[in-house]
Amino acid sequence: VGSNSRQSFGESFDTLLEGNRRQLESLYDGSGIGSAGSARNRESAAGAPPVADMQQVRPEKNDLDSLGPSAWLDRHFPDQWRCQIRDRRREGDEIVVLCCLELSGQDSRKAQFGSARIEPPVPGVYRNERETEEAAYQEAVDDALRRCVQLL
C-alpha cells in the first residue's frame, strides 16, 4: 500500500491541479484581465464569437435530489458528461471514493470525495458481503457525483 498508493494519490492530485489551473487561466483570459492583447481580443480578431456569446448556462438544481445525479446530468447535459472514479477505498465500515466529473460541452472539470456507510450485519440473517459493499460503493459514487454537480 506504500509507495504505489502515494504515487496514485499524487497523480490524482496533479490531475486536479492541472484542471484547476486551466480553468483559472480561462477565467482570466475570458474576463479581459491583463494586457490589451488578451485572449478575448485575439478571439474576436480571429472571427470567433465574443466571450459574452459563449456564457455557460447554469441549470437549476431543484430536481437534483428527486432525480439523482446521473439522471440529472443526463437531462441537462445529454451525452456531454463523463464520470471517472480516481480512487476507491474501504475504511472500516465506510467506502470513500474520489470522483472526477467532466463536462465536454462546458469544458468543465470538478472533483469531489463521496462516502457511504456499509450496513452492519443483522444477527441471524445471511448477507452477501460483496453485494453489501458494492451497494455502499454505488451510494458513495452518487454522493461524490452529487457534490460535483452542486459545484457547477
Query: Quick one: pLDDT at residue 65?
Result: 78
Q: What CA–CA distance (Å, rounded) separates 61 from 95?
A: 26
User: pLDDT digit string (tens) for 47-86?
Assistant: 444 443 334 445 667 778 778 899 988 988 888 899 999 9
C-alpha cell at 96: 470513500
Helices (H), the chain: 3-31, 39-45, 64-67, 69-76, 129-150
For residue 44, the one-letter residue type is S
pLDDT more than 70, % of the chain: 69
Query: Quick one: pLDDT at residue 82?
Result: 92
pTM of the model: 0.58
> Of 138, 101, 100, nearest to 116 (Cα)?
138
The DSSP secondary-structure symbol of 79 reads T
The number of CA neighbours under 13 Å toward the Cβ of 147 is: 14
Q: What CA–CA distance (Å, rounded) separates 99 from 79?
A: 18
